[in-house]
Amino acid sequence: MTQTQSIQSTDDGPGAQGAPLLEVRDVAVHFGGVKAVDGISLELQPGKIYGVLGPNGSGKSTLLGAMTRLTPMTRGAFLLDGVDYSRRPARSVHGMGIARTFQTVRLLEDRSVRDNILLGLDNASRAVRKGASARVEEVMERLGVRDIQRVRPDELSYGMQRRVEFARAIISRPRLLLLDEPTAGMNTAEREEIGALMRQLLDEGVTQFLVEHDVQMMVDTCDELFAMNFGKLIAHGTPGEVVRHPAVQEAYLGKGADRDA
Ligand SMILES: Nc1ncnc2c1ncn2[C@@H]1O[C@H](COP(=O)(O)OP(=O)(O)OP(=O)(O)O)[C@@H](O)[C@H]1O
Ligand SMILES: [Mg+2]
How do the domains of the chain map onto residue ranges?
A: 22-97+174-259, 107-172
The pLDDT averaged over each successive group of 10 residues in the chain (261 residues) is 41 57 98 96 98 96 97 97 96 95 90 95 84 93 95 92 95 96 89 92 97 92 96 96 94 59 42
Supply the pLDDT for residue 125: 81
Whether ligand 1 lies within 6 angstroms of the CB of 65 is answered as: no
Whether ligand 1 lies within 6 angstroms of the CB of 71 is answered as: no
In the chain the beta strands, taken as DSSP E runs, fall at 22-31, 34-44, 49-53, 75-80, 83-84, 98-100, 176-180, 207-211, 224-229, 232-237
Q: Which CATH superfamily is domain 22-97+174-259 in?
A: P-loop containing nucleotide triphosphate hydrolases (3.40.50.300)
**DSSP letter (8 states) at residue 29:** E
Whether ligand 1 lies within 6 angstroms of the CB of 60 is answered as: yes
SS3 content of the chain, % helix, strand, coil (to 5): 40, 25, 40
Supply the pLDDT for residue 17: 55
Secondary structure of residue 206 in the 3-state scheme: coil
**How close is the Cα of 165 to the center of ligand 2, in Å?**
16
Query: Whose C-alpha lies nearest to ligand 1, atom 4?
Result: 31
Alpha-carbon span 249 to 33, nearest angstrom: 27
Whether ligand 1 lies within 6 angstroms of the CB of 54 is answered as: yes
Nearest to 50 by CA among 159, 209, 162, 191: 209
Buried b (16+ CB within 10 A) or exposed e, 151-185: ebbeebeeebbbbbbbbbbbbbbbbbbbbbbbbbe
Alpha-carbon span 230 to 54, nearest angstrom: 9
Alpha-carbon span 58 to 251, nearest angstrom: 10
Supply the pLDDT for residue 206: 97
Whether ligand 1 lies within 6 angstroms of the CB of 20 is answered as: no
Supply the pLDDT for residue 81: 96
pTM of the model: 0.89
Query: Whose C-alpha lies nearest to ligand 1, atom 25?
Result: 56
Whether ligand 1 lies within 6 angstroms of the CB of 229 is answered as: no
Alpha-carbon span 186 to 54, nearest angstrom: 20
pLDDT tens digit string along 10-28? 444 334 458 999 999 999 9
**Any bridge partners for residue 177, and if so which?**
99, 208
Which residue among 30, 40, 53, 61 is best mutated to probe the pocket of ligand 1, counting the most ligand atoms within 8 A of its Cβ? Answer: 61
Alpha-carbon span 236 to 225, nearest angstrom: 6
Supply the pLDDT for residue 127: 81
Supply the pLDDT for residue 130: 85
Ligand positioned closest to the Cα atom of 57? 1
Supply the pLDDT for residue 185: 82
Alpha-carbon distances of 217 from 52, 113, 159, 213, rounded to whole Å: 12, 27, 16, 8
Q: Which atom of ligand 1 is nearest to the CA of 32?
A: 4
Amino acid identity, position 170: I
Whether ligand 1 lies within 6 angstroms of the CB of 31 is answered as: yes
Alpha-carbon span 241 to 239, nearest angstrom: 6
Supply the pLDDT for residue 15: 42
Supply the pLDDT for residue 124: 83
CA geometry: angle 183, 185, 189, nearest 5 deg: 65
Q: Which atom of ligand 1 is nearest to the CA of 64?
A: 18
Max intra-chain CA distance, the chain: 52
Alpha-carbon span 255 to 249, nearest angstrom: 10
